[in-house]
Chains A and B, each alone.
Chain A
Amino acid sequence: MAGHSGCGKTTTLQMVAGLVQPTTGNIVLDGSEITKLRPNRRGLGIVFQSYALFPHMTVSQNVGFGLEMRRIPAAERAKRVAEALALVHLEAFGGRYPRELSGGQRQRVALARAIVIQPPVMLLDEPMGALDAKLREEMQIELRALQQRVGITTIMVTHDQAEAMTLADRVVLMNGGRIEQVGKPYEMYEQPNGRFSSTFLGRANVFSGSFNEGTFLVGDVALPTAASTLNGKADYILRPEKIRFVDQNAILKGRIAARVFLGNHWLFQVETPLGTMQVARANTAPPSVGEGDEVGLCWDLVNARVVATEGQA
């Protein structure tokens, strides 16, 4: 689940976890209703944003706590704790206390603690929130691998669009307490269903305009579209990397206001009659244009997505 802070994604997660009671609606898990069940009866594995490790227990005791509550005999408990710790590569840390671990290690302990009880569903609340950027990237890949290995359905909450795209099979995009769009990351990126989806996942140029006798008008500038069946108001969504610089047959002309180097690509701010547009070009050759240059912009019409504005469809 992805969305800006305050959009209700953590609340949704907490409702699934049983920490918050929904005012209306049901929660169904594997066909059985769990809406009124107390959290300690749901048996879900939860990883909290702060990890919520028990500071007064060792790593092993932390991981074993859930098994202890299930009255698993000590011998089997020790075995399963060892397995869970091996899964997150912390075999050697069982005797340590949480404060003797690094942020990444704590996160893995929290994961092991949730996995060890073999929950039907794992809930992760911003699990990367407390990690620095470099570590976050490593942990994302590791988390994905881990999740594939143990095969537990996982619901993860994040406000980071990159994280949502990296980790998820299905992204639920939320905004203002509502679901904006649900889909596979690639589909959602390529076919955003509106301004919010397109700008939350990656960058996008979005122009609001309306159809007038088959042509799409933004102000008094006409933009070519592949779809001309629509009527009324619509948003014209164009990803920055789909735009090329051309000398002839330009769809739009503009002047480059700024050029930023981002390593694997260049990002241009181009001033056009429609306002400032973002253009991204892969860093495959030295840039052919610089700040202040007049350029022509062109794109394939299939890459420009036109979405009817809400209420007008």
Chain B
Amino acid sequence: MTRERNSIPYWLSAPGALTVLALVAVPLVMTFTLSFYSQPPGGAIDSTLTLQNYGHIVGDDYYIEIFARTFLMAALVTGVCLLIGVPEAYVLTRLTAGWRAISIVIVLGPLLVSVVVRTLGWAILLGRDGVINKALMAVGLLNQPVQLMYSYTGLVIALSHVLVPYMVLSVWASLQKLDFATEQAAESLGASSLTVLRRIVLPQVIPGVLSGCLIVFALAAGAFATPAIIAGRRLKVVSTTIYDEFLNYLNWPMGAALAATLMVIVLAISLLANRYIERRYKQVFS
């Protein structure tokens, strides 16, 4: 009797579990396996297990630079999203219901448009004859156009724009749980507005800030469309490199090894950051 009843949850979750297994776990395992194979130039994939792909990644400055560039980019994008997204989310909670609805649509609207389209939009803005350069020159701030397309600055700007809604959403969700009265209480106890933000509001929304940062960081590190269009071949990141290994050099094992390395590093950074902040702000996570 007890056994029969206990087996029902497993049956119920089986379809979902199987789908996840087939669509996520199996491809992951296959990619991992593939990354230990090797591919001699011009030859077929050799399925003897070897660490030589990982050896290249660790030993070759070319790959190390790409990884460093990718994670620096992800960190910068996370920083920019933090600086823009957190105040934006806070302002959102302070608006009246009507303005808030409009503002949320404006914040989330970009998510409804394909990343590729949004990035192409940035390409128009950032180009040598793009709107930004033209405007800056018209105002007289610049004498000659600055290189924004295929540049690190352009990449960080465009990617931050793509990812900032995730930060806003996640901080906003956290702010929803904030008791407005705690701010009033702090103020009545003599705190200035800045102190209220720093000592009362921010510590309470740390969970949202953290999850926002993790989402933005992971998405930025793995982003493909935006780097592919804005940075192009001139400024490779890990994901565009993986694409090239698979489709241009036809070195699947190398591509798989890069993908696996990227995933492991993102996972490790996320877990460590999560662990550290959760411990530091133990009381807010309940």
Contacts and interface: CB of A to CB of B under 8 A. Distances in A.
| Size bracket, chain B contacts | 20 to 34
Interface stretch (A62-70, A198-206, A211-219, A245-253): A62-70
Most central of B189, B200, B284 by chain A CB within 10 Å = B189
A9 interface: no
A42 B200 CA distance: 19
B184 A52 contact: yes
A101 to B, nearest CB: 13
Contact of B190 (A40, A48, A54, A57): A40
Contact of A46 (B184, B192, B204, B286): B184
B187 A39 contact: yes
Given A55-B283, A99-B286, A40 B192 contact: yes
Contact of A69 (B182, B191, B286): B191
A192 B286 CA distance: 50
Interface string B171-193: 00000000101101111111110
A54 B195 contact: no
A72 B188 CA distance: 16
| Size bracket, chain A contacts | 20 to 34
Nearest to B177: A55
B203 interface: yes
B99 interface: no
A56 B203 contact: yes
A154 interface: no
- Nearest 3 CB-CB pairings of A with B: A52-B181, A69-B190, A66-B189
Interface of B: 179, 181-182, 184-192, 195, 199-200, 203-204, 281, 283-284, 286
Interface of A: 17-19, 38-46, 48-50, 52-57, 65-66, 69-70, 97, 99, 113, 117
Given A48-B184, A117-B189, 9 more contacts: A39-B187, A41-B190, A44-B188, A52-B181, A56-B204, A65-B191, A99-B283, A113-B185, A113-B189
